[in-house]
Structure 1
Amino acid sequence: MSDAVLDAARIFLNSFIEPRRLLVAVSGGSDSKGLLLALHHASQTEARKGFSLVACTIDHRLRPESASEAEAVGAFCTSLGVPHRIYRWEGDKPRTGLQAAARNKRYELLAEAAGALGAECIATGHTLDDQYETIAMRGARGAEGGQGQGGAGMAATVLYGRRIWVLRPFLGLRRTAIRAFLEAEGVGWSDDPSNVNPVFERARVRADLAASGDVPALRWSAAQRSASSVRAAALISGHVRVYGALVAEIAVPLAGKMDDPDWCRGMMSLAAVLGGRDHLPAGATVKRLSGFLKSDHPGRMTAARVVFDRRSSGLYLYREPRNLPVLDLRPGERGLWDGRFTIASLDSALTVSAGDGGVWQQRLIDAGLPKGVAMRASQVAPHIVPAEAGNTGGDTAKVECRIGLYDTFLPGFDRIMADAIAVLFGRDRYPAPPVHDVLTELEG
C-alpha cells in the first residue's frame, strides 16, 4: 500500500519538465497530509534534486476547532522542515452555496499563498474517491449539458485564474492506500465533520457510494477528452470567425452538424463566451437548438442568452439584447460587465452600459457582417463613457473579453480548445502546464 503512494509521488515529480517549487495544500486530513509526506520523501532523493516544498492551510473559520487544526498542521510541516503558512477566510459566509463559495475562496487564498512563498504551482490531495464522487454528482445533476463536459471527471491538471497550475498527483489512488501509508509512517490526521454532514451534496453522495459499493464509470478518459479538445480546436479555428468579441460567424457546412459531439461542444463553448456564462448550455437547451440548427431554413432562435441567427451566408451568434447591466467604475477600478468583458478604468470614473450609438455597427459592417447582424450585435456592445460630463480626454479604459468557462478553472485536457477560443476572441493563449500530460503527448 505505502509503495503505491510513494510511487505516485515519484512519478509526479518525474513528470515535471524542470524542477519547481511546489505549494502543497494541507488541510490536516489524511489525503493532504499523505501527499505532503510522500512528496517530502520523494523530493529528498538525488534524482529529484532541485524541487522544494512549501505548504499552506486554509482556515475557512467555519468550525471552532479549525484554528487549532491549522496550527497542528503547521507543527507537522515544521517537523518536516517545510515552510508553512495559514490563510484565513475572513468576513461573513454565505447562507447558501457554502461549499462552492468555500472552494472558490480556498483556491483564491492558495494562489495568494503561492505568490507569497514563491511557489510556481499548487499540489492538492484529491483522490480516486473524490473522482468517483464528482462523477456521480455530475451525472445526477445532468451537468454535462449533452456535451460530455463532466464525463471525464476531474482533470489531473487545472489552471487557476489564468496564472497558476493546480496539480492532483493522487487522483489515481484510493483513500485507503493513503491512510495505510500514514499509519505505517506513524502519522495521524483529522477528519472534517462536514465530510459526513448530509446537508452537503458531496457528503450524501459519499455515503451512498459507500453503502452501495458502486464505482461510477468515467464516460470519457482523460486521453479521449484531450483528443476531443484537439479536434474541436481544429474545427473552431478552421470554420469560425469572431468579430470584436461580439459576433461569431460559423461557416455553412458546420452550422447544423450538432450530431458531431466535438463540434457541438466547441460551438456551445463559443455560445457560453458570447452569452457571458461560466457553463455550457443545459442538455435540454442543446436538444432544442439541435432541432433548429439541423433545418436549412433561415431564422433566429434565442437560447442561453445568445441569438442563433441562421442565414444563407452562415450562422451568426451574438448576445441577446435583454437584461444588459450598467456598471459604474471609480478611477483605477476594475469590474466585470455582463459576464463578457473585464473593464479597467484608467484615470477617471466611468459608466459602462449597452449600445454604442452606431460606432460598433459601422465597424461590424465594414468587417463584412450582414447589416442586420451588425445592427443587433452593436446593441449589446459595451458603451463606455466618463461618469463626469465634460471629461473627454485620452483613453479612459482597458477592455478585455472574459472567457468564463476557463478563466477561473481550466481543466488541462481542454487547454487546446480553450486556446483556440482565446485567440478568436483576441486573447493570449493560456500558459502550458509545468508537467508532461496527455495533451503534451498529443501535441508532440
Structure 2
Amino acid sequence: MAAEAHPPLAVVETAKRFFASFDRPARILVAVSGGSDSKGLLLALNEAIEATKPTQFFLAACTVDHALRPESADEARGVAAFCESLGVPHIITRWDGPKPSTGIQAAAREARYALLADAAQCFETSSIVTGHTLDDQRETILMRAQRGEGPGAAGMAEATLYDRRIWVLRPFLTLDRTAIRAFLTDRKVGWFDDPSNLNTRFERVRARTALASSLETGAGAWDARSRARSSAAAAALLERHVRVHAGLVAEIPSSMAGQCRDIDWQRALLALATVLGGRAHLPAAETVERLVNFLEQGTPGRLTAGRVVFDRRSTGLYLYREARGIEDLTVQAGQTGVWDDRFLIRNAGDGPLALTVEGGRGPQQQRLIAAGLPPGVAGRVSLSAPRIVSDDVKNVASATIEPRIGLYDTFLPSFDRIMADRIAGLFGRERYLPPPVHDLLTEMER
C-alpha cells in the first residue's frame, strides 16, 4: 500500500533497508544502463546513503555499452554525466567484437556480467547491484513456467553469486516499475527507453506483453523462503545418501533410488545429475517425468537423460556421464581450459596439454573398483573419465584438474547456497563465498 500511496518515499525507504542488511561498511558497484530502473536505483541509493550513513558506504557505477545500437554510446555518455552530477565515480565498458546472429540477449547478458565483474574489481567493490524490479520478477517466473522447467523452478533471487567471485544484489525486486518512475519524475530526472524492450522476437518482451494483456500476475506460488528450505532439505539428503567418486560417478543406495516423488530428493538428484553431465540447467519437466517413471519401476536397467546415465543395479543407483559426444581439448602452456563442461584444467607446464577420455581399462577404472564400485560400473565410468596427454611427462605432472560445477559456478542464487555448498563438498570443491548482506539463510539460521 505504501508503494502505491507514496512511490518516491517507498523507493528511498527500500534503499535504506537494503543498506541496513549489510553487516559492515561496503563498497558497491551500481549497474546503470540509463533506463528508469537502474537510474532510479542509483539515485535512491545515493539519497539513502546521504540521509543515513554517508561514511560507511561507497558507491561507484558502471554502464555497459553493448554496441548493438548506434545511439548506445551517446546514451552511455549521458549516464556518465548523470553520475558526475551525483558525485558518483563512473566507468563505461564496451562489449566489443563480433555479435552472434542468434541468442543475442543471452550472449549480451553473459558479456554484461563479465564486464561488470571486471569493473567491480577495478573499483574494489564487494558487490554489484542491479535495478531488477517486481515486473522483471513476474516476467522471469512466467518465462520459466512456459519453458516447462523442472521441479523447484523459481524466480530471481535477491542475491546471486557470479563466477564464484562477486555477489549481484537486487534490492528493488519488491518494487513495481511504476513506483520507480514516479520517484524519478518527482526528482525531475529522465531516462532512456531501449527500443529492444518492444521487440517481440525476444522472449522477455513476449512475456511482458502477455502479462500486460491478461490478469495473470506471473508470480504463481513463488516463495523464496520455501525454495531456501527445500534446498536445505535437499542438502541434508545429499549428505546422508550420496557418495561421489573422483567427480565422475555418484553412488546412491537402492533404498533411495525410487523416492523421486519427494520434491526435495528429486531436486537433489537432478542437481547432482546436472553437474555430472556438465550442464548449466536442470532438465525440463518432460525429461524429469520420464526419469521418475524409470526409477519408480524398481528393476535393474539404464536410462540416459541430460548426458547422464542412470544405472540402476541391485547394489544401488549409479549416475555418470554417457560416453559419447566428448571432444578432446588442447590447453596451451600457462592457460586454463574447460573440458566437456565438467572439468577445469590448468596447465602450469612449458608445453601444450591434451585432454581426452581414458577409454576404459585405465588407472581410473582400477581406482573406482578399489573404492568399492562394481567393476561393470567402473568400466563404463572410465569411458568418459579425463586423461591428460603430453609429449613431456613433466607437463602432465604440473597440470591441475578439478570438477566444474556448471549449475552453480557461474550463477548461484542465494536460496540454493546450502545445497550448492553440499554439492561442492561432494565434488571436492571449496564452499561458495557467502553474501555480504543478511539473506534468507541468515534469517532461517537465527
Q: So what's the TM-score if we normalise by structure 1?
A: 0.96
Find the residue that maps to 1:44 and give its secondary structure. helix
CA distance in 1: counterparts of 2:437 and 2:191, whole angstroms? 29
Aligned counterpart, 1:375: 379
Count residues with an aligned counterpart.
438
Structure 2 counterparts to residues 229-378 of structure 1, below 5 A: 229-347=231-349, 348-355=351-358, 357-378=361-382
Aligned counterpart, 1:29: 35
1:418 aligns with 2:427: no
Aligned counterpart, 2:99: 93
Q: CA offsets, 1:304-346, max 9 Å, x none?
A: 1111111222111011111111001111111111110011111
Residue segments in structure 2 that go unaligned for 5+ positions in a row = 1-6
Find the residue that maps to 1:316 and give its secondary structure. strand
Does structure 2 retain, via aligned residues, the 8 Å contact 1:153–1:218? no
Deviates more, 1:158-167 or 1:395-404: 395-404
Question: Which of 39, 44, 55 does residue 38 from structure 1 map onto?
Answer: 44
Structure 1 residue 296 displacement after superposition? 2.2
Structure 1 residue 98 displacement after superposition? 0.3
Aligned counterpart, 2:20: 14
Structure 1 residue 99 displacement after superposition? 0.4
Find the residue that maps to 2:155 and give its secondary structure. coil
1:114 aligns with 2:120: yes
CA separation of 1:46 and 1:392: change in aligned 2, threshold 3 A: closer
Q: CA offsets, 1:273-319, max 9 Å, x none?
A: 11111111221111111111112222222221111111222111011
CA distance in 1: counterparts of 2:372 and 2:207, whole angstroms? 52
Does structure 1 retain, via aligned residues, the 8 Å contact 2:32–2:61? yes
Structure 1 residue 18 displacement after superposition? 1.2
Does structure 2 retain, via aligned residues, the 8 Å contact 1:125–1:169? yes
Does structure 2 retain, via aligned residues, the 8 Å contact 1:19–1:50? yes
Does structure 1 retain, via aligned residues, the 8 Å contact 2:137–2:219? no
CA distance in 2: counterparts of 1:180 and 1:35, whole angstroms? 13
Structure 1 residue 216 displacement after superposition? 1.5
Deviates more, 1:82-91 or 1:249-258: 249-258
Structure 1 residue 213 displacement after superposition? 4.3
Q: CA offsets, 1:380-414, max 9 Å, x none?
A: 1101011x3x5446623111111111111111100
Structure 1 residue 46 displacement after superposition? 4.1
CA distance in 1: counterparts of 2:395 and 2:11, whole angstroms? 62
Structure 2 counterparts to residues 166-177 of structure 1, below 5 A: 166-177=168-179
Does structure 1 retain, via aligned residues, the 8 Å contact 2:275–2:405? yes
Deviates more, 1:163-172 or 1:338-347: 338-347
Letter in 2 for 1:288: R
CA separation of 1:362 and 1:51: change in aligned 2, threshold 3 A: same
CA distance in 1: counterparts of 2:37 and 2:134, whole angstroms? 11
Residue segments in structure 1 that go unaligned for 5+ positions in a row = none
CA distance in 2: counterparts of 1:282 and 1:46, whole angstroms? 46
Does structure 1 retain, via aligned residues, the 8 Å contact 2:31–2:130? yes
Does structure 1 retain, via aligned residues, the 8 Å contact 2:347–2:395? no
Does structure 1 retain, via aligned residues, the 8 Å contact 2:389–2:396? no
Q: CA offsets, 1:150-178, max 9 Å, x none?
A: 2x311110000001000000000000000
CA distance in 1: counterparts of 2:200 and 2:115, whole angstroms? 27
Q: CA offsets, 1:229-281, max 9 Å, x none?
A: 00000000111000000010012221110110011011001001111111112
Q: CA offsets, 1:29-49, max 9 Å, x none?
A: 000000000000111134464
Aligned counterpart, 1:128: 134
CA distance in 2: counterparts of 1:393 and 1:75, whole angstroms? 52
CA separation of 1:190 and 1:213: change in aligned 2, threshold 3 A: farther
CA distance in 1: counterparts of 2:260 and 2:288, whole angstroms? 9
Aligned counterpart, 1:61: 67
Q: CA offsets, 1:65-121, max 9 Å, x none?
A: 100100010000001100000000000100000000001100000000000011110
CA separation of 1:22 and 1:393: change in aligned 2, threshold 3 A: closer
CA distance in 1: counterparts of 2:185 and 2:373, whole angstroms? 66
Find the residue that maps to 2:346 and give its secondary structure. strand
Does structure 2 retain, via aligned residues, the 8 Å contact 1:272–1:280? yes
Structure 1 residue 25 displacement after superposition? 0.2
Does structure 1 retain, via aligned residues, the 8 Å contact 2:353–2:395? no
CA distance in 2: counterparts of 1:36 and 1:418, whole angstroms? 31
CA distance in 2: counterparts of 1:393 and 1:58, whole angstroms? 39
Deviates more, 1:290-299 or 1:257-266: 290-299
Find the residue that maps to 1:307 and give its secondary structure. strand
CA distance in 2: counterparts of 1:141 and 1:297, whole angstroms? 31
Q: CA offsets, 1:119-159, max 9 Å, x none?
A: 110000000001111111111111x22x12x2x31111000
Structure 1 residue 218 displacement after superposition? 3.2
CA separation of 1:397 and 1:204: change in aligned 2, threshold 3 A: same
